[in-house]
Structure 1
């Protein structure tokens, strides 16, 4: 058993629907008690200090602790090609992404990048991620094996691609089905690993492949479905030509039984009212990827409409390598700008909710992650809100004692902060 003393912030409600003062739990001087990697107790230091007088206490004085960040859409093979110049989605894939992913047929190479990728997540305070791999089963194994070495909770799966890509990234649909089925049985629920059936997007899948993906989902209903949806106008037009019997892009996935709870759709920029309504009714989630959407010029996600109007589960995502940073703070910063461009304001509490409890709810792991409720897994991040000279100037005065000052400081932190603001990252109570 161990205990951590610091200021703590987490969420007990959804600030998009509950007044922020009621959705936020803030303890300026708190104690988090951890036993066997899980939260045993949580409250004010004053209340708990006598009860745990014999427990060793580590102090993060002057720092703010939050639940670990959860990135619900990121490509680990694209880590090495982040910041690739000059293209929008489809040309960018062909010029940069596909040639990079070819390298991952070599498991040693895949392991090298997986190791770097996971360490980079941790360096940025991200403790859980929903990850895309490649068509090569060894690239999936390498990621899960490296994640288990770090005891990280990762959701991932083999990329399904059977057309409209270079030959070296094309797989036979039946072969991919067999490989995916074997991997589900190997990895889903193995330690903290969870599996996602992963068609890259409709353009690279045939009817046969999507039929087999739907068959897998029916056979293993508690696995995830993870793919892209309505990111780019040219992508949408191409999808309509490839699937003339579908009423819209979302309906392609609906026809094959791939839209439901534990379905995660990245981007969702160019959706109409009907698609938003159907996603909400199905219990599906949207991964909001602001740095990627701005970098590729894909468009502005309608966060207010998705969350406030339709109550869709939404989580933040970096989408590296179209996304420009592993930092969820930088992702929040660009999310704020995307909202501002649509005459909306993303409050700091809403932004941090989307990276913690909101993301956990989006991937149906709120019983395990996303807050400091007793019994949850003790994954958390220690923020230094004075990590740089500019942040120290902006956030003078030490740890806030009230929510108004806290809101000001965490907003400045999400706008000005990056990996330097991450003082420590803990996995199951262990500092990584």
Structure 2
């Protein structure tokens, strides 16, 4: 194996970052446009025979189903990425993810094909989730392994703003959808945001095709996988769970303070605020639009700080903010004031969640050796996504109750998740100076040379 890895070219690093940013924008757009539709129109389109509360639970249940497929996708595509390369794997995840979303936008409703409508919705949601399971880990790792060693946190933070760039697109598209008459919204208006994902798919695929494989994979991983007697692909998964189980558990705990507030504020609150509190959907969407724009600034700041002082202090700070703001957020939401609601969103998401989200890509990937990095980071994050993310709107809706009066239980749920993340940060090692070239067959190195 080569003793050194060539210094990454900064211009190429930005090109890789832009490609991964678009890929993650598509990932989050696909997943969150579903969540928005599940909160607003899916109860009527796909579950019209149920009561309002039950139909909403059913719609959020199909939202959660996508997360069930994500760990399988993380394992499948992670294994493929560790054996055959990051780039080719990301082309597959991008294609499957985009096509699934477009097909959801073309799916007939319950009134047209009956029970097959929700059945096909679940199937497409599973396919979407399967592909998403491999997209995040690969897109972050290809940036991580192509970036200057002392700027890894900064570069990997930008693709992770894809959730907020996607939220801007979704907010703007649904702002237009909300202006449609009810009949048009339920028949064809809700489909437009799904079909628009085709534009992002084509642009991202074109950019991603021109990328090269990462220096770390070429010099540290590829030579070992091509050797006679190299372990079978399945061995990568076995070794990850056998040797890296502590890191997988750490990621499970670390995700709660990030995923709970994000899906609570961008999915659950859209339904709860409108139906339980009578807040106009446009007010909530505009608040989300504000924090989505501010997210680019906060991610850059928090990521740059993590490259100087480490991942753990920044991650812990964000978890504490989420804990402290759980109850005050609902108080601000209940005022119905746009300014106060926006303040709540900014404090929870820009100050709390963004500190975590900016650090998470580098932190998670740096926990694993080069030859299991894709498998470990993707599988760990997506396994955690079931409990920490996908179930959030469903659990929060159930806790709040049909009339939304049990909201303190929802706030307590978020606080518990933040505590779990603080414990995980305390137990986690610092990673920001680790040598990415090290494989599982070599002694661990504490720092980059």
The bucket for the TM-score relative to the shorter chain is under 0.3
Give the helix-richer structure, 1 or 2: 2
Structure with more relative contact order (C-alpha pairs < 8 Å, separation 6 or more):
2
Using the size of structure 1 for normalisation, the TM-score is: 0.24
Give the strand-richer structure, 1 or 2: 1
